[in-house]
Structures are given as C-alpha cells and as structure tokens.
Amino acid sequence: MTVAAQPQAHPQKVSLREPPSWRRTKNQLMTVLMVLAFVVTLVPLGFVLVTVIAKGASIISWSFLTSSIPPPVLPANVGGMGPAIVGTLEITALATVIAVPLGILGAIYINEYGGKGFLAQVVRFMSDVMTGVPSIIMGLFIFTLWTLRFQYSGLGGALALACLMLPVVIRSSEEMLKLVPDSLREGSYALGATKARVTVTVVLPAAVGGIVSGALLAVARATGETAPLLFTIGIVTSVNANVFSGSNTSLPSQIFLNATQPYDGAQARGWGAALTLVVIAFIFMIAARLVTARFARYQR
Amino acid sequence: MAEHRQEFEHQLEAIEGKVIELFAMVGEDLPQATRALLTGDSGTLAVLVERDRQIDALYRQVEELANKEILLQQPVAADLRFLLSVLRVVPELERSHDLVVEIAAAATHSLTGDLSARTRGLVEQMGDLAAAMWRQAADAWYQRDRDAAVTLTERDEEMDALHASLIAELASGQMAVPVTMEMTQVARFYERLGAHAVNISRRVVYLAGSAGLPGGI
Amino acid sequence: MEQSEQNVAGQTGKKATASMRGPEPLVRHPAEPAGTGNLIFDVRDMSVWYGGFQAVTDVTLPIYENEITAFIGSSGSGKSTVLRAFNRMNDLVPGARVAGEMYYRGANLYGADVSPIAVRRRIGMVFQKPNPFPKSIYDNVAYGPRINGERNRHRLDEIVERSLRGAALWDEVKNRLKTSGLALSGGQAQRLCIARTIAVEPDVVLMDEPASALDPISTGAIEDLMHELKSRFTIVIVTHNMQQATRVSDRTAFFYVLTDSASDTRTGVLVEYASTKQIFEDPQDSRTQAYVTGRMG
C-alpha cells in the first residue's frame, strides 16, 4: 500500500463556531420562554389532578361505587354514587352508538364521495359551526324537541351528547381519511375494486387507528358534559337501568348538585364523583392509545 | 429548442475531422505513388513512408477517441452508427495507405525503363481509376451518400477488367521475369485499393441510415 | 373512419384543429412479432381531454400479445395518459374525456355498457412509486383474489405463493408473510406490487415508470422479471430511461409535445412507433433522433 503524501499543515484553521451574537441570545431567551409557558400550562392541570385526588380519594370504596345516592344531609360514609356511574356509562354508551357511526359515515361521504360538491361543502361547514355551539344550547335544543314530548330519559341526554360528539367525530375522521395517500386508492382501483370496496377494504383500515382514537376522544369529552344533561335527564337517586325511559342521573350532574350543598357529606360525595369521572376519562384516553398502537402495527 | 450534449457533439466533430484528414492523405498520396512508379522517381518513397507514420498515429488516435465515446456516452441512432462506422473504416484507410507506400516502393526498383507501352498504359489507367474511386469514396463519406456504393461497385468491375488485362499482358512474357513479378504485385495493389474504396462506400450505407427514403425500411 | 366521442365525466372540450396534429406519425410494423402476433389493443385516432386541455391528440397504434412495448418521450407528451387510458384509470380524474376508439381484443374499451371494474380486472397496473397496502404481505397479494370472491384458504395460499414466485419475491419473504408490506425495501415493495397485480391473472400488465424510484440492482431485478413475465402477459411500460427501453422492450413508441404557437396550446402526439432496434438504431423522424440521442430533452 502506497503512503499518501504528508498532509500539509493547514495554512489557516477554519472556525466552525458560531460567533457570539444577538441571534444566539435570542435563541436562548426563546427557549426559556417556551419552557416557562409549558410549566405554566401544566400548573393548572397538576393543581386540578392533585386537588381531585386529595379530596376524593378518601371516600372511594366499593360501597361508594355501588350504593344509591342518599339525601345530601347524610354524612359521607352513607350511600354513594352508584346510579350516577351507571347513568354516565349508559348515557355515554348510547350517545356513542348514535354519534360515532353517523360521524364516520359523514366523513366518508365528505372525503370519498362528495369531493367539491355542494352537499359536501355544506356538511363540512355545518360540522365546523356545530363544534362551536355551546353545549347548553344543545341541551336546550333536545329539551324543546324531545324532552318536552317524551319526558326526562337517558335517551334525551344521549341525543344531546350525540349532537356534541357528532361534529368532532366527523372532522377528526375526515382528517384521518385525508391522510390516507391517494396512491393506495389507485392501487386498489387498479385491481378492479369498486369505490365502495376501495373505501372499506383499503381506506378505512388505513385510517382506522386515527378514526378510533378520534372517536374515543369525543367520548371522553362527552363523559364530562354537564349542561346538556341538565334539561334532559332529570334527577334520580337510584339506578335506572332503562336508559330509554324514566329520569336518570350522571356523574357531572351529581357533582353539580352536591357541590352547591352546604353539607360535608354532600361535598365529600361530590369530590368522590369528580375523582371517579376523572378516572373514567383517563381509562378512555389509555384505551385510545392502545387501540392506535395496535392498528399502527401495519403502518411501518 | 436548446441542444444538449455539446461536449459530446464537439468530440464527434473532432473524430470526423480526423477521419477526413485520413481520407485526404490517402487521396493525395495515391496519385503521387502512381506518378513515381511511372517516372521511376525513388525519392517519393521516403516522403510517403513519413506520411505513413503520421497516418498510423492518426489512426490510433481516432480509434482511441471512438472507443472512449462509445464507452462513456452510451450513443444510439446516428451517433452510434457514426462511431461504429468510424471504427470499421479507419483500418481500411490505414491499410490502403500501406498499399500506396508499396506502390511507391516498387518505383525504387528501377523498372520503369523496362515496362512495355501497354503495361505502362494499363498501369496509368488503373492509377487514375483508383484515384477517382478514392475521391468518390471520400465524398461519399463526407456527404453520407448511400447511393455511392452502387456507382463504386460498377467502377470496381472496371478495375477488375483492367486488372485482368494487365495480368494477361504480363503473362504474355514480353518483359523480364523480375519486372513481371513486380508488376503483378503492383496490379494487385491497385485492385485491392479499388476493393477498399468499395468497402468504405458500403459502410456509408449503414452510416447514412434510411431516414428520408420513401416507405422507410 | 367514424369517430365516436365517449363522454366520461359529462363535460365538453374543444377538439384540436388539424394543424395541431403535425405530420403523419411514422408507424412501422416489423414482419416478425416478438410474441404471438395477436393484436391486443387497437387504438385509432384516440384523444384525451382533461377538462378543456387536450392532453393527447389522434393517437393510433397497435399493441401485440406477449410483447413488451415501451412508451418514451419527454414530460407532458402524453405517454402516461395513453397508458392510463388502456385500463380506464383516467375515469378517476374528474373532467377526463376520451374520444376516438380503443379496442381491447376486439371489444370497445369505452363502449356504453363496459364496466371499468371488469376492464381493470383484466388489465392491471404497476405504479411508479411502490404502493403496498398497509396490510401483511399475504393480505396484499391476496387482496385482488379476495375482492374477486375467492374465500378458500388453500386456494389463496396457492395463489399467494405462485404470485410471489412469479414476482421473484417468494424466497425472500416466505417466512414472514404475516409481516407488514410497508416494511419491505423499495425493490421488494415494487415486486410485491407486481405480485399483487399478477395474482388476479390479468391479461395485460401496464407499468408506469416501474423502476424510476429504485436503485440499479432493484431495477435490474425488475427488468429480468419483465422478461420472464412476457411469456404469460402482454406488457406496456412508460419509461424515461432510454437504456431501460432498449434493454427490455420489443417495440417502442415515441411521443412528443406538439406546440401550436398560434393558439399557444400544447398537446401530445405519437411521432414514431417501430421495433426498438429500429427506433434506437435508425429512427426516421428527426424529432425521434433528437430525443433518443439526448440532443432534445
């Protein structure tokens, strides 16, 4: 092996350091500001979590989760929030069953079939508008249309929640469908698939992770809504398993009711309900993550 | 529209220039060799030998250039036909100039005085015909004339006829044996020069391609 | 010859004037076909519009069975448009319209009662950028047969293996058929797409620059594959790579962008169509010569 010529001494050393300048300082300043902003954002979240856990943890027990709701004046160790938990779960479940399929179908229409057509544009616009409508208006809407005719029921509450969830599901599903590259659709068409088959066998499976997590987020949000339920489900203190008729209750409603009572027992039960609600929402978030991870198995 | 591959175009032009130079050298030296033979001038040989060295050098240059362009440029269509034709034609040019040198060499063997009139006449005719055929072959190459092959084939038949006459004349035994043997070789040189000219004109048919012909291929 | 206008998306457009078309294209048919010699596609005076823009004008050419035909030409000359017209993929573009005639084995591709779905089951397509579905390798290849109604597990296994072997991919993936199709390298992914396409046993395979996104080794593998597949299918490929056209194709069609300075419009036309040897050794049209020698981009 031949030896190359001796490397010459560099006549002038090249400096790769950035010279000290205003730009560097600005960068550091911005970094600090960003970290501060992050911390500031976390503070209320942390505060809420800590407070809820601190104040509600002591009352949680199996009997708390299953007993009927006692009159507010009774102390904390009597009764529980059983009916409220059942109510929340069944009303939210019904709302999901109504809103999610409709929302996904709506998104499929907008993205795959409607294109730039008038109807698609209308649906898109109205979804955007609906995301901004205050939840109490939704409650009022269902109250006038439904509850006045059919009395309080869990179904009324579910309808109100569904109105809140629907635009969220439509918009997030549409975004997920848009993310599916056209090359996949082309590949499916080229194999002789009809439009419906392309959508069901290629587009939906490709977007399903995002769609499901979007739907779960909508559900998590709906779980915590109070205002629309005020007019539509009434109040009960024992479990109403029939979600279609008869008044019902939910955790947010109970938190509202108990928080305004002067009795310690009611206060404690309110905090317990709050903690339960937070835990339920948390479970939904984790489920969303797990579902996304499972469906993303084929994405890489 | 903008033309690309200017560098390649320049290289092709350079090769063409050298090929034309080769044609020119053969075309000039052939009549000189004939004249030297008929006048017994032995000085011409040295000149032509020097020219032959130049031709060998030029021939090698052209080959190298053509090889390089074929390797590096992936030529197709007219470019490819040109480069392949160059590689086939320059050996013919080089060999032809060797024959011209041989004819001039015959001039140094002091035969001139011993040639019969008829021999002299036939040699002159063959020399003129060969020179004419070479001028035509050079033109055919330069103008990419695919029809020249037909004409040159006909003239080659003329050359063959002259060759046959010369051989017959030599066989009649009028001249001394060494002279006869020498002139037989010279007759063959001219006949070969004619054949090379015809070969070149056939290569030009490939080079020219068929674009513009009615009905294409 | 009758010209029928098939209105694909319900819009109208201007037909190009005769001056736009330029001189007659040079279409020569060599005596010995490389395949069986049967006529697969018979294209007559075909034009394609996208809205008001005429992408190709009056294309006439025959495609023969079991041969590889290459379409070459600069960008915008309409080669991909003509290719996509063969399997009616232009239908997916809103505003696309086809005039003239395209016959596939004697049947009018754009006839009133022709289903594009049926067309695409017989005429498959491989795209420039490999597009495996986000499913397992097995499910990718089985996709076509499944949507055609095949449910039997054993038959599907057979089809998957046969197609992967046909695409020269079986040995590399036979132990991981359940892994994601997206995890494959570029060359493997493209071979997977080829396997997917041949799994439905089409008659014709169209390839739109199939190797342009791949490295030279993968390109070589795809080209070898094309030679093998030629005996079972008819292949039409669009390529920018002229050396690929010479290595792979039996016939070559050269497309060109014709500009009409008077009306400031452009359209693609077919200029010359002959055996690949003819096009690349002795092209008749000066524009073909300028393009294949790289003088004109």
DSSP state string for C121-171: HHEEEE-SS----SSBHHHHHHHHHHHTT---HHHHHHHHHHHHHHTT-HH
Phi then psi for residue B191, to 5 deg, are -60, -40
The Cα–Cα gap between A299 and C181 comes to 9
CA distance C91 to chain A (A): 11
Residue A246: per-residue pLDDT? 79
Long-range contacts of A293-298 (CB under 8 A, 24+ apart): A294/A209, A295/A208, A295/A209, A295/A212, A296/A209, A297/C180, A298/C134, A298/C135, A298/C136, A298/C180, A298/C181, A298/C182
The count of CB pairs under 8 A between chains B and C is 52
| Among candidates C281, C284, C286 on the partner chain, residue whose Cβ is nearest the Cβ of B80 | C281
Q: For B15-20, what is the mean pLDDT?
A: 97
User: Tokens 């198995």 appear where?
Assistant: A297
Q: Could you report the per-residue pLDDT of B33-72, keeping only the tens digit for each?
A: 999 998 888 889 999 999 999 999 999 999 999 999 999 9
* Stretch (H or E) spanning C126: strand C123-126
A110 and A124 Cβ atoms separated by less than 8 Å: yes
**Residue at B118: amino acid letter:** R
State how far the alpha carbon of C163 is from the alpha carbons of A192, B155, C201, C236, C290, in Å. Answer: 17, 64, 9, 19, 40
Paired tokens of A32: 């600090």
Determine, for residues A297 and C200 on separate chains, whether the beta-carbon distance falls below 8 Å.
Answer: no
Predicted pLDDT of residue A10:
64
Q: What tens digit of pLDDT does each residue of A150-171 get?
A: 888 888 889 999 999 999 999 9
Contacts of B9 in chain C (CB under 8 A): 295
A185, β-bridge pairs: none
Global confidence as pTM: 0.83
Q: Evaluate whether chains B and C are touching (3 or more beta carbon pairs less than 8 Å apart).
A: yes
Residue C286 is which amino acid?
S
Does C289 contact B211 at a Cβ distance shorter than 8 Å? yes
User: Going by DSSP bridges, is the β-strand pair C68-73/C251-260 parallel, antiparallel, or unpaired?
Assistant: parallel
Interatomic CA distance for residues B207 and B203, integer angstroms: 6
Where does the pLDDT of residue B189 fall: very low under 50, low under 70, confident under 90, or very high at 90 and above? very high
Whether A162 and A95 have beta carbons less than 8 Å apart is answered as yes
Chains that touch B (3 or more CB pairs under 8 A): C
B72-112 pLDDT, tens digit each: 999 999 999 999 999 999 999 999 999 999 999 988 887 66
Name which of A238, A265, A292 is nearest A75 in CA terms. A265
* Alpha-carbon gap, residue A114 to A127, rounded angstroms: 15
Q: Give CA–CA dist B201/C98, Å, rounded.
A: 50
B183 CB-near residues (< 8 Å, 6+ apart)? B106, B111, B115, B119, B123, B166, B170, B175
CB nearest to B211's CB, from C243, C280, C284:
C284
- State how far Cα C22 lies from the chain centre: 24
Contacts of C183 in chain A (CB under 8 A): 300
Task: Answer whether B18's CB lies under 8 Å from B58's CB.
Answer: yes
> ∠ at Cα C77 (C212, C7), nearest 5°?
110
Please give the average per-residue pLDDT across A109-124, as a whole number. 89
Q: Which chains touch C (3 or more CB pairs under 8 A)?
A: A, B
User: Which two three-digit tokens encode residue A293?
Assistant: 């991870």
Looking at the complex, report in whole angstroms how far the Cα of residue B140 sits from the nearest Cα belonging to chain C. Answer: 19
Would you say the C-alpha torsion C119, C123, C124, C127 has a positive or negative sign? negative
* Location of structure tokens 């319900």: C10
Residue recorded with tokens 């001796």: A6
**Section A98-102 average pLDDT:** 94
**Residues with Cβ < 8 Å from B207, sequence gap 6 or more?**
B81, B82, B85, B141, B144
Signed CA dihedral, C140, C141, C142, C144: sign only: positive
The answer to whether residue C107 neighbours chain A at the CB level (below 8 Å) is: no
User: Amino acid letter at A151?
Assistant: Q
pLDDT, mean of residues A32-52: 93
DSSP state string for B49-106: HHHHHHHHHHHHHHHHHHHHHHHHH---HHHHHHHHHHHHHHHHHHHHHHHHHHHHHH
The structure tokens listed for C118 are 């049926």
Whether B contacts A, i.e. 3 or more CB pairs less than 8 A apart, is no
Sorted by sequence, the CB contacts under 8 Å of residue A70 that are 6+ apart come out as A78, A79, A237, A265
Question: Tens of pLDDT along A256-274?
Answer: 888 888 888 888 888 888 9
Q: What is the mean pLDDT of chain B?
A: 92
A8-22, A50-64, B121-135: segment of lowest average pLDDT: A8-22
How far apart are alpha carbons C160 and C182 in whole angstroms? 17
Ranking A66-80, A89-103, C9-23, C223-237 by mean pLDDT, the lowest is C9-23
- The arithmetic mean of pLDDT across residues A270-285, rounded, is 88
Residue with tokens 């992408």: C55
Taking chain C (297 residues) in runs of 10, the rounded mean pLDDT of each run is 34 40 62 80 94 93 95 93 95 92 94 93 95 95 94 96 94 94 93 96 95 89 92 95 93 93 88 94 93 88
Please give the Cα distance from C98 to C54 (Å, whole number): 10
B209 has a chain C CB within 8 A of its CB: yes
User: CB neighbours (10 Å) of residue A56?
Assistant: 22
Cβ pair C280:B2 closer than 8 A: no
Q: What is the per-residue pLDDT for A58?
A: 84
Find the CB nearest C147 among A184, A197, A297: A197
pLDDT value at position A75? 83
Q: What's the confidence (pLDDT) of residue A1?
A: 53
- Verify whether the Cβ–Cβ distance B75 to C293 is below 8 Å: yes
Predicted pLDDT at B167: 93
Percent of chain B beyond pLDDT 90? 77
Q: Do A298 and C134 touch (CB under 8 A)?
A: yes
Cα atoms in the Cβ-side hemisphere of radius 13 Å centred on C271? 24
Of A130, A137, A132, A143, nearest in space to A99 by CA:
A130
Q: How far apart are the first and last CA of chain C?
A: 35
- Assess C259–B contact: CB distance below 8 Å, yes or no: no
Q: Please name the residues between 62 and 121 in chain B that touch chain C, using a CB distance below 8 Å.
A: 74-81
- The answer for residues whose C-beta is within 8 angstroms of residue A134's C-beta and 6 or more apart is A227
The contacts of residue A214 (CB under 8 Å, 6+ apart) are: A168, A169, A172, A173, A175, A176
Query: Token pair of C93, please?
Result: 């573009």
Compare CB distances from C281 to B1, B4, B77 and report the shortest one's residue.
Answer: B77
CB contact under 8 A, C200 and A192: yes
* Residue in this structure with the two tokens 């004349």, named with its chain if needed: B169
CB < 8 Å to C193, chain A: 187
Instruction: Please tell me the predicted confidence (pLDDT) of residue B107.
Output: 86
Contact status of C50 with chain A (Cβ, < 8 Å): no
ipTM exceeding the 0.90 mark: no
Kindly indicate the confidence band of residue A297, based on its pLDDT and cuts at 50, 70 and 90. low
Contact A218, A157 (CB under 8 A): no
Q: Give the bridge partners for C237, in sequence order.
A: C70, C207
Does C133 touch chain A if contact means CB atoms closer than 8 Å? yes
> What is the β-pairing status of strands C204-208 and C123-126?
parallel
For chain A, where are the alpha helices, taking DSSP H only? 22-56, 62-66, 82-108, 118-132, 135-142, 148-150, 154-179, 182-190, 195-197, 204-223, 227-230, 251-259, 264-295
* A243, A84 Cβ separation under 8 angstroms: no
pLDDT digits (tens, 9 = 90+) for A209-250: 889 888 988 998 888 888 888 888 877 777 777 878 778 888
- Beta-bridge mates of residue B138: none
**pLDDT tens readout for residues B138-155:** 999 999 999 999 999 999
The confidence score (pLDDT) of residue A115 equals 78
Q: How high does pLDDT run on average in chain A?
A: 86
Taking the Cβ of residue B211 and every Cβ of chain C, the question of whether any pair is shorter than 8 Å is answered with yes
**DSSP H helix total and E strand total for chain B:** 6, 0
User: Helix crossing, B6-39 with B117-143: angle to 10°?
Assistant: 170
Measure CB to CB from residue B77 to each of C26, C243, C289 and give the nearest one: C289
Interchain contact C271–B (C-beta under 8 A)? no
Beta pairing class for C68-73 and C234-238: parallel
